[in-house]
Structure 1
Amino acid sequence: MARFILSDRGFLRAYERHNLQLVELLTTAPVMLPLPTAEGWEVPQLPEVNDLADWLGVSLATLHWLADTRCLESKWNRGKLRNYYYRPLAKKQGTIRLIEVPKPRLKGCQRQILTGILDHIPPHDAAHGFCRGRSIKSFADKHVGKQVVLRLDLQDFFPSVHGGRVQAVFRSLGFPASVADLLAGICTNSTPRDIWESLQFPQPQLRLTQWQYDNVHLPQGAPTSPALANLCAYRLDCRLSALARTVGADYTRYADDLAFSGGQDFSRAVRRFHVHASAIAMDEGFHVHFRKTRIMRRSARQRLAGLVVNQHANISRAEYDRLKATLHNCVRSGPSDQNRTGHTDFRAYLNGRISFIEMVNPARGAHLRRLFDRIPW
C-alpha cells in the first residue's frame, strides 16, 4: 500500500505543495473473525502468535520449531532432532501404512489443541468415527434391514488430507492467518525420505506412497488427526448426504468407510449411484479404493465395519464362535498356546475383542466376559 501511494503523482504533488507531515501511523490489531456458523463455538481467543505460545505453554522459538512450517522434519538427518517416531506397517493388499507418532512435547501441544479447540467443533451428522456419543454400531444401525447396502472405502485417508485444508479449518474458526498456519503446522507433518530406504516393497508402489507422505499431511498417530480429518471431510459428507437423499438412501461414514443403503429406488440406481459418489469423493481430494467397493443385496450377507446388518447390527456367528473357542481353550490349557497370531499383549487383545462385542451384543459379550475372567493369567 505504501509503495502504491508513493508512486501516485497526484499524492506527490499534494505532498510537496502543502508540506504534509506524518503525524501517526495507524495499525489494526489482529482480531478473531470466525465464519457466522462458528461464532457460537467455544474456541480460545488467540489473535496473535504470542497468545498461541502462551496458551500452549511454550516459548516462541519452541512454537516455531514444533509447527515446522518450513518442513525441516523431512530434512533432518538425525532422529533426535525430529518431532516424530516412524513405524511402517505392511497391509494385506501389499501397500504400506505409516504410523507417525509425535514425541512427548509435540503430543502435549496436539492434545491441548484437541481438547481446547477441536473437541468443541461439531462434525457432520453423518460422521460416526472418533465422535463422542457415536460408534461403529451407530454407523451401522442406519443400514439395518435395507434392500441394498453400498460400501465404499477411501484409500490412505489421513495422508490424503493436506496441510492447506487443515489451515482452512483453523481459518474458518476465526484464527488469523499467522496463528492458523502455526496451528496447522503443529497438527501436520512431512515425512523424511530416508524412512522408506530400508523397506522391501515394489518400487512403483513405494514411489507413490512416498510422494503422498512427502506432502504436508495429517499424520496417522497424532491425537488431533481423527478430529481434523472429520472436519476436513465435512463438505464431502454434505455432498454425499445430498446425493443419497435424491434416491431415498441413507448415508453414514466411519473414518474411511462410507456406507449407503435404501429401498427399491436406491436398488435400481445403485450402480450409477456408486459412480457419482466416487466422483464426488475424488473431487474432494480423496482416493477411492475401488477394489473394496461392495454392492450387497438383502439375499446375501450385508457387512459394514465388521458388523452384519441384514436384520440387526451384530457380529457374524462364525466370528463369535471362533473367539468363544479361543477363550474355552485358554481356560482349559492356558493362554500361551492360543496366541497363534503373535500378539505382543494377548490379554489386551482378547479384552478389546470382548469389549467390542459387549457394545454390539451385550448378551453375547457377557458370556464371553465370564469365560475371559476364568482364564489363569
Structure 2
Amino acid sequence: MAEGLTRQQLYDRIRASSKEEFILEEMTRLGFWAKNTSQPSLPETLIRREGELRRELNELLAEKQKYRNKERMLADMRKERMAKAKLKRAETKKRNEEKRKARAAAWAEKKNLDITYLGEEVSAGLNKVTPDEAQLAKFGLPVFKDATALAAAMGVTLGKLRFLAFNRQVANTSHYQRFEIPKKSGGTRVISAPMPQLKAAQHWILENILYKINNSAAAHGFVPGKSIVTNAVPHVGQDIVINIDLRDFFPSVPYKRVKGLFCKLGYAEQVATILGLLCTEPEVDEILLDNRKYYVAKTERHLPQGAPTSPALTNLICFKLDRRFEGLAAKYGYAYTRYADDMTFSAKGDAADKAGQVLWAVKQVVKEEGFTIHPDKLKVMRRGDKREVTGIVVNEKISLDRETLRKFRALLHQISKTGLAGKRWGKGRNIISSMEGFANYVYMVKPEQGAKLKETLAALLQREDIKAEAHNLWTTGTTEGTAAETTTETPSAPQSSAPQHPEGVHIAKDTPTATNKPDKPWWDVL
C-alpha cells in the first residue's frame, strides 16, 4: 500500500488514472521496476498512455453528465444567483436605511441649530449669516448672528420661528384671520389680522427694530407723537390744498422690498429673510377639499392690511418718496405732509398757480417709487372751497365739519329720547364703538368740544335702559337705522425725535412705550 495514504485516497488516485499505472508507479517507487532514464520500455509506455486516455475519458464523461442535466444546472445557477441577489439587496437596503437615518438625524440636528429652508423662492440667501454690525450699531439696532440668536431674542423656539415664517403656496393652516370692514368711500376693505403667535412676533419687531428708526419729518401716520392733527396743521390757511391718495398702498409693497429694507439696516440676508416673511403674506383662496380647508396663495407676498408692522414699514420704505416730495415742495413753495397713503400739498400766494406743475412732478415721482395714484381720490381745493386734510377742516384754523357735529349731537339727543333702536353712526356695525370713536376724534381735534361730547355720551351709556339695549346689541349684532353717517379718524401712535437711517431714515432716541400706542387697530383710521 502506498505509504501514508488511506484506503479512500488510494481509490481516488486509481480512479483518476488506472490501476496498472498506479501499480507501475508504486513498483518504480519501491524499486521493483527499474526506471530507464534514457527511454522508457514498451510496457511502461503503454501503461502511462492508458492512464492519460482514461483521465481524458473521465473528463469527457463528466462533461457529458453536466450537459445531460443542463436544465437542472441552469435552475441551480438561477437559484444561486437569486440567493446572492437577495442577500445583496438586503445588505444594500440595510446600508441605505442606515444612511437615511444618519441623514435624518443630521438634518434634525441642523434644524435644531439653524434655519436653512423656508420654502420656494425665498431660501436662496439663508446661508448668508454675516451682519453689518457697524451699520446696525449706527442705528442702535440689536445684532443677531443668525436665526438661532433671533429666535432667542424673540423668546420663541427655532422651530416656532420657522413655522411662523415658512412660505407655503398651499397650506392647511393660516396665520391670519381675514374679515371685511366698510370704507368711508363705499365698498369694503379686507383686513388680514395676524393670529396671536404671529401678532406677538410682529409686535416684537415693531418694538425692537422698527420703532427705533425714525421717519421723515413729513410722515405723520402711525408715528409716535404725531396724529391727523399734526398732519393738518401745516396746511391751515393755505390758498390751495391738494390731496392725493395712493392706490392699494400696503399690497403694493412686496416681500422683496421689505426684505431689502432689513438688509439695508445692516441685517444679514438670513435674518432679513425671516423678518421679511414674518411681516408679509400673500392673498389666498380658501378651498375645501375632502372636508379639509386649504389656503392657496394667489399673489406674491406683500404687506398685509391688519399687521401691526405694516404702517411702520411703509413709513420707512416711503422715506425716499418723502424726501423727494419735500424737495419738490420746497422748489415750488409748497408744504407737504403724508399720513399713511394720504399725501397733501398746499401753498398760498403765487405758488398756488403752480399746481399743474406740482401734480405732473408728483405723478412722475410716485410712478418711479413703485406706487400708483388713486385717480378717484385726487382733490384740488382752492380758497372758497371747504379745504380738508385727513378729515379736518383747515380753511382758517383747525376745525371739524359743522354739519357732521350737528348730526352727531342730534343723534345723541335722539338716543336720549328713544334709545339705540334704529340708530346708526358711520359705517361701523357697532353704534356704541362708532360713537365713542367719533367723540374721541373730536376730543383730539377740539379738546373742549370733545370733552362735552364724551361727557354726554358717557352719561347716556350709564342709563339702565341704554345698558340693556347695548347688551342686546352685543348679543344680536347691529341696530338697523338710517341716521346720518360719517367716518371718523382715531388718533395715531405718538413718536419721539431722532438721528438718521440708510437713506436718511432717522434713529429714534427713545423706543416708544405701550402708553404711546393707539388704543384701536390702525386699520380703523383708513
With normalisation by structure 2, the TM-score equals: 0.59
Query: Are residue 32 (structure 1) and residue 131 (structure 2) matched?
Result: yes
Alignment of 1:91-102 (within 5 A): 91=183, 97-102=189-194
Query: Are residue 85 (structure 1) and residue 177 (structure 2) matched?
Result: yes
Tell me which residue corresponds to 1:175: 267
Provide closer, same or farther for how the CA distance between residues 342 and 335 of structure 1 changes in structure 2, counting only shifts above 3 A: farther
Alignment of 1:1-377 (within 5 A): 30-33=129-132, 39-68=137-166, 71-72=167-168, 74-76=169-171, 78=172, 81-89=173-181, 91=183, 97-194=189-286, 214-339=299-424, 343-375=428-460, 376=463, 377=466
**TM-superposed deviation, 1:305:** 1.1
**TM-superposed deviation, 1:343:** 4.2
Task: Determine the C-alpha separation between the residues in 1 that align with 2:400 and 2:351.
Answer: 25
Partner of 1:236, secondary structure, is helix
Tell me which residue corresponds to 1:204: none
Task: Determine the C-alpha separation between the residues in 2 that align with 1:58 and 1:132.
Answer: 27
Provide closer, same or farther for how the CA distance between residues 343 and 302 of structure 1 changes in structure 2, counting only shifts above 3 A: closer
In structure 1, what residue type is equivalent to 2:407? R
Larger Rg: 2
Point out where structure 2 has 5 or more consecutive residues left out of the alignment: 1-127, 288-295, 467-526
**TM-superposed deviation, 1:89:** 4.9
Task: Determine the C-alpha separation between the residues in 1 that align with 2:187 and 2:371.
Answer: 17
Deviations 1:213-257 (A, max 9, x none): 712100111111111111111111111111111011110000010
Partner of 1:190, secondary structure, is coil
> Matched residue pairs, number?
328
Identify which range, 125-134 or 184-193, moves more after superposition.
184-193
Residues 34 and 172, structure 1, Cα contact 8 Å, conserved in 2: no
**TM-superposed deviation, 1:266:** 2.4
In structure 1, what residue type is equivalent to 2:342? D
Residues 129 and 271, structure 2, Cα contact 8 Å, conserved in 1: no
Deviations 1:270-290 (A, max 9, x none): 012112102211211111101
Task: Determine the C-alpha separation between the residues in 2 that align with 1:342 and 1:360.
Answer: 21
Point out where structure 1 has 5 or more consecutive residues left out of the alignment: 1-28, 196-209
Deviations 1:18-52 (A, max 9, x none): xxxxxxxxxxx95431675x644332111211111
Provide closer, same or farther for how the CA distance between residues 250 and 39 of structure 1 changes in structure 2, counting only shifts above 3 A: farther
Identify which range, 116-125 or 89-98, moves more after superposition.
89-98
Task: Determine the C-alpha separation between the residues in 2 that align with 1:141 and 1:342.
Answer: 27
**TM-superposed deviation, 1:95:** 6.3
In structure 1, what residue type is equivalent to 2:394? V
Deviations 1:280-323 (A, max 9, x none): 11211111101211111112111111111001121110011011
Provide closer, same or farther for how the CA distance between residues 95 and 367 of structure 1 changes in structure 2, counting only shifts above 3 A: closer
Task: Determine the C-alpha separation between the residues in 2 that align with 1:362 and 1:109.
Answer: 36
In structure 1, what residue type is equivalent to 2:270? S
Provide closer, same or farther for how the CA distance between residues 281 and 313 of structure 1 changes in structure 2, counting only shifts above 3 A: same
Task: Determine the C-alpha separation between the residues in 1 that align with 2:338 and 2:205.
Answer: 24
Task: Determine the C-alpha separation between the residues in 1 that align with 2:318 and 2:221.
Answer: 12
Task: Determine the C-alpha separation between the residues in 1 that align with 2:246 and 2:342.
Answer: 7
Tell me which residue corresponds to 1:26: none
In structure 2, what residue type is equivalent to 1:175? Y
Residues 151 and 260, structure 1, Cα contact 8 Å, conserved in 2: yes
Provide closer, same or farther for how the CA distance between residues 90 and 167 of structure 1 changes in structure 2, counting only shifts above 3 A: same
**TM-superposed deviation, 1:91:** 4.7
Partner of 2:144, secondary structure, is coil
Provide closer, same or farther for how the CA distance between residues 62 and 270 of structure 1 changes in structure 2, counting only shifts above 3 A: same
Task: Determine the C-alpha separation between the residues in 2 that align with 1:89 and 1:256.
Answer: 18
Identify which range, 338-347 or 363-372, moves more after superposition.
338-347
In structure 1, what residue type is equivalent to 2:132? L
Residues 46 and 179, structure 1, Cα contact 8 Å, conserved in 2: yes
Tell me which residue corresponds to 1:18: none
Residues 425 and 431, structure 2, Cα contact 8 Å, conserved in 1: no
Deviations 1:121-166 (A, max 9, x none): 1011100000000000000001000111111000111101111111
Task: Determine the C-alpha separation between the residues in 1 that align with 2:315 and 2:234.
Answer: 19
**TM-superposed deviation, 1:92:** 6.7
In structure 2, what residue type is equivalent to 1:271? G
Residues 425 and 435, structure 2, Cα contact 8 Å, conserved in 1: no
Provide closer, same or farther for how the CA distance between residues 110 and 164 of structure 1 changes in structure 2, counting only shifts above 3 A: same
Residues 238 and 395, structure 2, Cα contact 8 Å, conserved in 1: yes
Task: Determine the C-alpha separation between the residues in 2 that align with 1:238 and 1:220.
Answer: 25
Partner of 1:113, secondary structure, is helix
**TM-superposed deviation, 1:369:** 1.9
Partner of 2:422, secondary structure, is helix
